[in-house]
Structure 1
Amino acid sequence: MATAPAPNIAAVILAAGKGTRMKSDLHKVLHPIAGHPMLLHLAESVAALKPERTVVVTGAGREQVEAAVAPLGIVTALQAEQLGTGHAVAQAEAALAGFEGDVLVLYGDVPLVSSATMQAMVARLHAPDSPAVVVLGFRPADPAAYGRIIADEAGVIAKMVEYKDASEAERAINLCNSGLMAVRSADLFALLARVGNDNAAGEYYLPDVVMLAAADGRASAVIETSAAEVAGVNSRAELAGVELSWQQARRTQAMADGATLIAPETVWFAFDTVLGRDVVIEPNVVFGPGVSVADGVVIHAFSHIEGATIGAGAEVGPFARLRPGAVLGEHSKIGNFVEMKKAVLGVGAKANHLTYLGDAEVGPGVNIGAGTITCNYDGFFKYKTVIGAGAFIGSNSALVAPVTIGAGAIVGAGSVITGDVEADALALARGKQEARPGWGKRFRDAMMAKKAATKK
């Protein structure tokens, strides 16, 4: 039997709200979760369904939103005046002209909805009973002021009502409307055209399409998900709550995939952190965007890592900072209070203490002594330091770039190196040590006598 072709999908993401409770110059939907704007989290989940079109409905702060989605090829539609969710979706009609398929209606400030849940909504739309609308419902611990859904055991909706318009009996129901829905394009805008604003808020409510379809003799259905998946963000406190929810899920996934988190609640991942197997992460480690960690890596406590690639068996920290462009080779070591930026540390190389490596290429097996600095910036331009395989850089050395230290060379402790050092050479660049016997005692005696004289 031939399989029915997958339906065409379009998504309408509502992002027109002002977000005044955020008290921010940054548009609400662009506030980050795990280092990534909320709206882009949602857009990427939509993209996994390979939609034919995605439309973001903008309003206040539209320029910021348009700039964020333009690189993704997402079009926008303007809701110049905020007259309710139904009115907002209606603004996408022109952008969806000629589209035939299923439309997902999503919210830019509800960022954690998974591709699987979206797919489940579409699948329910094509169930044998062919509902007119599929609504995503949830049961929060506190239903508060959410709209309510009255449905039977099969999920067929008898009534949907906004909290402001609900009776006491209806408010006692804990099945709530997330606002997300799936509707055939052939139905969506025809139903929206019939939505009125005769309600307590004087707005055009999107959920009204369910009851309008019912009046035509067409039932709608609800499927349920967790409250965490449809958590919305309207304030900084809610932003923190959604961030925590995302982090908890990511920590659980990391451990399920074979990483050891000593104190999971203290580890903070970015949206794109990649971890290999048998990675050990100690407490209070923070990952910024762009980090890839290979198998068998140990990351010690209080390390901050962003834009870095860490090879198999490497060791980082404690109290290390890896900045964008840091690359650690296999079995290399970055120790406490070491910072790397746009630098490569070769296989088996190590910088164990109190070191800055910036704009540097460090060869295999190199030992960087404590307090070493690559002086890569002259106030105007950046320059590169190259250290050959097997070189030894003595403690408290300053390598003034551009400079090359040859393979196997040794730089004496306390040196300021301003010129290239050939392979296997010893480089010393420090003042000559001079000793004056008895000078210290004579100095102390003279000073003590002077101090005594001032007290008379």
Structure 2
Amino acid sequence: MKDLAVLILAAGKGTRMISRRAKVLHKVCGVPMVSLVCRAAAALQPGDVIVVVGQDGDLVRKSLKEYGARFVDQAEQLGTGHAMITARAEFEGLAGNLLVLYGDTPRIKPDTLRMLVDRHRHSGAATTLLTTRVANPYGYGRIIRNGKGQIAAIVEEKDASPAQRSITEINPGLYCFQIRPLVASLEGLSNRNVQGEYYLTDVIAIQREAGLQIEGVIHEDSEELQGINTRAELAEADRALRMRKNRQLMAAGVTMIDPESTYVDLDVELERDVTLYPQVILQGSTFIGEGATIHSGARITDSRISAEALILNCSQIADSVVGAGSSVGPFARIRDRSVVGEGCRVGNFVELKKTSLGDRSKAAHHAYLGDATIGCDVNIGAGVITCNYDGVRKHATIIEDGAFIGTDSQLVAPVRIGRNAYVAAGSCITADVPEGALAIARERQVVKADWVKRRAKTESP
């Protein structure tokens, strides 16, 4: 839609959020809400995207870098109309229409925006806006209609009379304007109101008085259009989008034992025949391959879980890869760009940090493997530790294919264990072990026969 530009108002402080962070940066299902609004608008392929920013402007810019938007700083927030005046230079020279959105409406769908733009084009109106009806209209501008049922004005909550406050048709803040009449109407805005602000909503009355056509489209799904002003509303929006995502996944062949207690961020991808147990959390850009099973309490962030993998209870995986058919957990932790190969086993209370584990290798219990490169078919016994930190720098451990590391061994890096080598249980390895060798690094066992009897005699009175 090259004759369509989009303007997103994202400069508000959001004081009711009680936060040092700009309201539009708060995340809904893992994505900043302003990014969700921009994502919905980008689906229309507009010619231009303009974003008005204020508090945390640099962070808002960073969150929207993928959309190629232009940004306008509203240093002083004097209302939505003032935001439009501040951004006017960015759109007044454009032809066609301007879609204006608030950055705090994360539930908005591309199809709804497309419907609004299509209705605007077909109606020939100077302005077309979405309205909706709610049981409790508190805080919203009320839609005032004339005797012909046409929209005559929008009155803000603080400026409304008692009769006007009883109106349940409200303005959620989504408009499509013809650009030329809009620019002319901005000249007539004033701050003579209870809040001393310039209201964008006053454009409606200005254009109606000028005899221009105003079109209103009533949208039945009021929750989709709801703006976020409080933490409670943020939680409601998060739940709504989470359930929308879960329904989409189940329709695509994902099994969720309890969708209500399954938390999947919007940018997570799951293939068919994945099974998610209750209390699973999948975050960021995580991918789960076909047929994988994720058990309760698992939390996976920005990671790739390959086909038929099994993630057992209460395991944490971040920024890592788990290969096809591998098993992780319960109570395992994999982090910092670790890679688990195919057919591996990472068992209970095992931690991998910046470590690669080759195909068919296993670390079944109570091990810490940090800064290690581990080959294929390696056995890591219970209690094994790669001692990777000398107090100043991290060092690497290399364990080649087929090696066997006995229980309760420490490998003091930098160190290399050769192919098919063995490390005896309880060893503290400080030097390389050649291929096919056995390393034993522990005190020789001494057995003192009848020691207990002799001790008893010496200690008796």
Q: Which residue of 1 aligns with 2:71?
A: 76
1:307 counterpart residue number: 302
Question: Does residue 1:239 correspond to 2:246, yes or no?
Answer: no
Choose from 23, 26, 29 the match for 1:28: 23
Q: Give the AA of the match of 1:117.
A: T
In 2, distance between residues paired with 1:108 and 1:440?
A: 78
User: Secondary structure of 1:399's partner?
Assistant: strand
C-alpha distance in structure 1 between counterparts of 2:448 and 2:330, whole Å:
37
1:392 match: 379
**Which of 68, 78, 87 is the aligned partner of 1:92?**
87
Work out whether residues 275 and 293 of structure 2, in 8 Å CA contact, stay in contact via their aligned partners in 1. Answer: yes
Pairwise CA distance, 1:411: 1.5
**Contact 2:331/2:348 (<8 A) preserved:** yes
Take 1:120 and 1:126, find their aligned partners in 2: how far apart are those partners?
A: 10
Q: Is 1:16 aligned with 2:11?
A: yes
Question: SS of the counterpart of 2:20?
Answer: coil
Question: What does residue 435 of structure 2 align with?
Answer: none
Q: Which residue of 161, 183, 193 corresponds with 1:189?
A: 183
Listed as ranges, the gaps of 5+ residues in structure 1 are 1-5, 377-382, 451-456
The equivalent residue for 1:135 is 129
- Looking at structure 2, the residues matched to 445 and 305 of structure 1 have their Cα atoms a distance apart, in angstroms, of 61
Q: Residue 403 of structure 2 corresponds to which residue in structure 1?
A: 409
TM-superposed deviation, 1:181: 0.5
1:427 aligns with 2:414: no
Q: In structure 2, do the counterparts of structure 1 residues 44 and 369 end up closer, same or farther at CA, with 3 Å as the change threshold?
A: same
CA distance in 1, matches of 2:134, 2:355: 53
CA contact (8 A) 2:104 2:228 kept: yes
Is the contact made by 1:135 and 1:180 (CA closer than 8 Å) also made in structure 2? Answer: yes
Q: What does 1:436-447 align with in structure 2 at a 5 Å threshold?
A: 436-439=448-451
The 1:67–1:441 alpha-carbon spacing in structure 2 relative to 1, beyond 3 Å, is: farther
- Report deviation, 1:403: 2.2
Q: 1:441 to 1:181 in 2, by over 3 A?
A: farther
Give the corresponding residue for 2:268.
273
1:130 counterpart letter in structure 2: G
Q: CA RMSD in A?
A: 2.6
2:437 maps to which residue?
A: none
Partners of 1:364 and 1:190 lie apart in 2 by 68
> Are 2:30 and 1:43 equivalent residues in the alignment?
no
User: Residue 109 of structure 1 is aligned with which of 97, 104, 110?
Assistant: 104
Letter in 2 for 1:348: G
Q: CA deviation at 1:83?
A: 2.6
Contact 2:242 2:266 survives alignment (8 Å): no
Distance 1:149 1:319, change over 3 A: same
Q: 1:72 to 1:444 in 2, by over 3 A?
A: farther
1:334 CA displacement: 0.3
Say whether the 8 Å CA contact 1:132–1:210 is kept in structure 2.
no
How far apart are residue 271 of structure 1 and its match? 2.7
The aligned amino acid for 1:416 is Q
Shift of 1:239: 2.0
1:389 maps to a residue whose letter is: C
Show the counterpart of 1:213.
Answer: 207
1:73: Cα distance to partner? 3.1
Q: Please give the secondary structure, in 2, of the residue aligned with 1:93.
A: helix
In structure 2, the partner of 1:57 is 52
* Contact 1:155/1:221, CA 8 A, preserved across alignment: no
Give CA deviations for 1:380-421 in whole Å, capped at 9, x if unaligned.
xxx3x2222222112111234522222222221122234322
Q: 1:433 to 1:53 in 2, by over 3 A?
A: farther
Q: Do the aligned residues in 2 keep the contact of 1:155 with 1:223 (CA within 8 Å)?
A: no
Give the Cα separation in 2 of the matches to 1:194 and 1:34: 40
Rate the CA distance shift 1:97–1:214 in 2: closer, same or farther, 3 A. closer
Q: CA deviation at 1:433?
A: 4.4
Return the offset for 1:356.
0.8
- Give the Cα–Cα distance (whole angstroms) in 2 for the partners of residues 373 and 444 of structure 1: 42
SS at match of 1:223: strand
Deviations 1:34-87 (A, max 9, x none): 222221221222222222222221234434434544564322223333332122
Q: Deviations over 1:181-212 (max 9, x none)?
A: 01011221111212333433333221222222
For the structure 1 residues 328 and 62, does the alpha-carbon distance in structure 2 shift closer, same or farther, using more than 3 Å as the test?
A: closer
Aligned to 1:371: 366
Could you tell me which residue of structure 2 aligns to residue 259 of structure 1?
A: 254
1:370 CA drift (Å): 0.6
Q: Residues of 1 paired with 2:456 and 2:343: CA distance?
A: 49
1:124 Cα shift?
A: 0.8
Farther-moved stretch of structure 1 (70-79 vs 304-313): 70-79
1:167-186 matches, within 5 Å, as: 167-186=161-180
> Per-residue deviation at 1:168?
4.4
Sort the Cα spacing of 1:166 and 1:332 in 2 relative to 1 into closer, same or farther, 3 A. Answer: same
Secondary structure at 1:24 match in 2: coil
Identical positions, percent: 33
Deviates more, 1:302-311 or 1:15-24: 15-24
Q: Determine the C-alpha separation between the residues in 2 that align with 1:140 and 1:18.
A: 25
How far apart are residue 371 of structure 1 and its match?
Answer: 1.0
Offset from partner CA, 1:105-163 (integer Å, 9 cap, x none): 11112222222221111111111x312211111222312232222569x9853543333
State the match for 1:293 in structure 2: 288
What does residue 432 of structure 2 align with?
A: none
**TM-score of the two chains, using structure 2 as the length reference:** 0.86
Question: 1:435 offset after TM fit, Å?
Answer: 4.2
The separation in 1 between residues aligned to 2:80 and 2:3, in whole angstroms, is 23
Mapping of 1:343-382 within 5 angstroms? 343-374=338-369, 376=370
